[in-house]
Chain A
């Protein structure tokens, strides 16, 4: 989406600050369950930081997926001034306050950097229809609506399902599970007909040949051409638009500090995560999990967040998920 801008930002780099450094273990706060995409990403960062000695104190991953991730948001909100906690955020920062009236606003936190954009893919069981057209036809012909698994209610997966219904005319029963991992397992066990998981959430079951990617919800194909399964790479998955279903959605993966931290503390983390995006661990992870690399910070990041917030708000409103 903003790849060019990201590249520019990444090239400029950020000057190293000799000022503030954490003296205690730093917590990466994950607003999702164990094994989900956020958790995996946090663990990659933990490994990248420790293996490359990017920071002296250890980094620990702290899972706060309670209340569909609201636990993590409230935790960050109440940790004002604590520079030893970093949130790995995704679109819930826009959606939860709208759907569940959580008293939270991302503007109260300190933005550090946007580190990646995550894709969404339409998956079905490997025994199911082989193309989007067949899938939509089968869904329309089915006696009872196809079951679509996803994470949480009134969130990105649910929004995508609603737009999929609008664009295709097929009806789905949306089943909200607690995590993307659960949605994956349930698709493998044939308890649902499809899901719209992030690539990382379905990667292992795809490699095991248990699910099939039908299309990716982006305007262009995923760029990675390395083979993931015996025959397919991420780039082999057509876009949904190519297949006649024009639905697009990309999700941010961004780092935030609690509110009221000092400029030196913020600068330390901007530098730290910039270094993380330069590591081999990060590059491997981006490719393996089919994420779009991006690095935004400072004014660029705030501008991105504002635009993204407005976009998500309009999607949520259109889907009818904004609490009155």
Chain B
């Protein structure tokens, strides 16, 4: 049990007053950004990232990951009380959570949401604890073709498994890839698409893009819709909490299934959003009286929340061990790691044990502390929504601008952020998903470099992507996922739902 010893070491690193205080600060900030529509986990982390530049990496990542946990918890609050998903992955929580609140069972729904969030991430953390060392030794097997195959898998799974229209996902992704090409090209050493501008030399910083695309555009939308925030009073008493906990064992199948879906989608980067929908849909499909879903059924809260949290947490594993982010927030944390001088990748687990195990230990502690904190502070956070939007909006815009500026100390980035805000607004209006765009912006360069390095190495032979079992199976899986809707349709037509298929290549 090497992992266990290392974990204890992690706790030892963590249990200092300074770290614990940072953890609490992170959680409170996280719940705050989770509750506010327009700010979310990725934005919260992105905006607060520069504040941590001067901290030591362990403290910084503990605080940022706690913001992340807090946001995961907080997203559920607005979904249930106001039918406003504070986070994209909380959309599925509104389906049954809001009806429950309307029936006066808000406290019950909130407790269910928080508890299942906790269970989801606990399962994922256990997975990380015992799987991470294995994955890091496995990671040395990754050369350019393997890395490209993984990026391909990510892109393909977004297209194949995404809920949005395929062509819109592809449009969004292509635009992201195009913008990712701006700046210095590592492989040829030449500048591309900079049009002689020294500002474009750096390329488009994806944090700047994310702040604009999500934060600013949400403000624009809310302004247009004159969002009236009318909520239901929510108080939580110990009796209700215990009542929900007593019923938990009845739903173990749902909880387990959602945890599994979440972990899977978190590690093979599909994201918390996909996981929450999939968790909800499967719970509905396998339930006995499925028509009662959507009318205030507690299982409808358990399923998406467990999956979203399991996925959000396990997404950190590929980020740490392979340097590949499994979610938007993980991508921003990845940027943070590099800023603090840590190279995420195979050797991180070997060279920075304190950091890695401190982080993993913080996942355990952060979740326990977060659960208690969130249960006790619900009434306070709910009152945020009574502050007039006119007062909150300028504060959000200012914090976004500071965040965008601080990343590279460049005024140009603030204009860029505003530009992306408008792009995000237009995208939301015409229904183009933003996630593939950001994904392409983050991974575009790496995918391109990996592809071209593979081509240099193999002398231009595409067969390199099937040259060994590892890269071959990832590439094949990528194509399977890309064409999954077609394959699924064909299978359904033949009337085959379950069959073990062997793929040859």
Give A69's nearest chain B residue, CB to CB. B184
Of A101, A103, A174, A191, chain B has the most CB atoms within 10 Å of the CB of A191
B198–A60 CB distance below 8 A? no
B338–A175 CB distance below 8 A? no
Decide: A70 near B346, CB < 8 A? Known: A33-B338, A152-B186, A191-B144.
no
179-195 of chain B: CB within 8 A of chain A = 183-191
Of B184, B340, B459, chain A has the most CB atoms within 10 Å of the CB of B184
With a cutoff of 8 Å between Cβ atoms, the chain B residues found around residue A39 in the complex are 341
Contact of A103 among B189, B198, B453 (CB under 8 A): B198
Contact of A101 among B187, B191, B347 (CB under 8 A): B191
Nearest-Cβ distance from residue A138 to partner chain B, whole angstroms: 17
With a cutoff of 8 Å between Cβ atoms, the chain A residues found around residue B339 in the complex are 34, 63
Give A190's nearest chain B residue, CB to CB. B143
A66–B53 CB distance below 8 A? no
B457 interfacial contact with A, CB 8 Å: yes
A34–B343 CB distance below 8 A? yes
With a cutoff of 8 Å between Cβ atoms, the chain B residues found around residue A155 in the complex are 189
A91 interfacial contact with B, CB 8 Å: no
B351 interfacial contact with A, CB 8 Å: yes
A66–B202 CB distance below 8 A? yes
A323–B53 CB distance below 8 A? no
B345 interfacial contact with A, CB 8 Å: yes
* Distance between Cα atoms of A155 and B340 in the complex (Å): 26
With a cutoff of 8 Å between Cβ atoms, the chain B residues found around residue A173 in the complex are 456-457, 459
341-361 of chain B: CB within 8 A of chain A = 341-343, 345-347, 351
450-500 of chain B: CB within 8 A of chain A = 453, 456-459
126-158 of chain B: CB within 8 A of chain A = 140-144
Contact of B459 among A70, A71, A144 (CB under 8 A): A144
B165-188 toward A: CB 8 Å interface, digit per residue (1/0)? Answer: 000000000000000000111111
With a cutoff of 8 Å between Cβ atoms, the chain B residues found around residue A64 in the complex are 408
Decide: A185 near B140, CB < 8 A? Known: A67-B183, A153-B189, A178-B186.
yes
With a cutoff of 8 Å between Cβ atoms, the chain B residues found around residue A75 in the complex are 408-409
Contact of A67 among B141, B202, B459 (CB under 8 A): B202
* Distance between Cα atoms of A39 and B457 in the complex (Å): 28
B345–A185 CB distance below 8 A? yes
A43–B186 CB distance below 8 A? no
Give A25's nearest chain B residue, CB to CB. B54
With a cutoff of 8 Å between Cβ atoms, the chain A residues found around residue B423 in the complex are none
B449 interfacial contact with A, CB 8 Å: yes
Decide: A175 near B186, CB < 8 A? Known: A34-B342, A67-B202.
no
Contact of A74 among B141, B201, B347 (CB under 8 A): B201
Contact of A175 among B141, B203, B343, B453 (CB under 8 A): B453
29-55 of chain A: CB within 8 A of chain B = 33-35, 39, 43
166-223 of chain A: CB within 8 A of chain B = 173-179, 181-182, 185-186, 188-191, 204
A61 interfacial contact with B, CB 8 Å: yes
* Distance between Cα atoms of A31 and B498 in the complex (Å): 55
235-251 of chain A: CB within 8 A of chain B = none
B188–A153 CB distance below 8 A? yes
With a cutoff of 8 Å between Cβ atoms, the chain A residues found around residue B142 in the complex are 189
A154–B201 CB distance below 8 A? no
Q: Which residues of B contact A (CB under 8 A)?
A: 53-54, 140-144, 183-191, 198, 201-203, 337-343, 345-347, 351, 408-409, 449, 453, 456-459
Sorted from nearest, which 5 A-B pairs have the closest CB atoms? A191-B143, A153-B189, A67-B184, A154-B189, A34-B341
Q: Which residues of A contact B (CB under 8 A)?
A: 33-35, 39, 43, 58, 60-61, 63-64, 66-68, 70-71, 74-75, 77-78, 99-103, 144-145, 147, 152-155, 158, 173-179, 181-182, 185-186, 188-191, 204, 321, 323
Other A-B pairs, 6, CB within 8 Å; known A68-B189, A185-B140:
A33-B338, A35-B343, A43-B341, A144-B458, A176-B189, A204-B347
Can you show 20 pairs from A to B with CB atoms below 8 A apart?
Answer: A60-B53, A61-B341, A63-B338, A67-B183, A67-B191, A68-B184, A70-B201, A71-B201, A75-B408, A77-B198, A100-B190, A101-B191, A152-B189, A158-B189, A175-B457, A178-B186, A185-B346, A189-B142, A191-B457, A321-B189
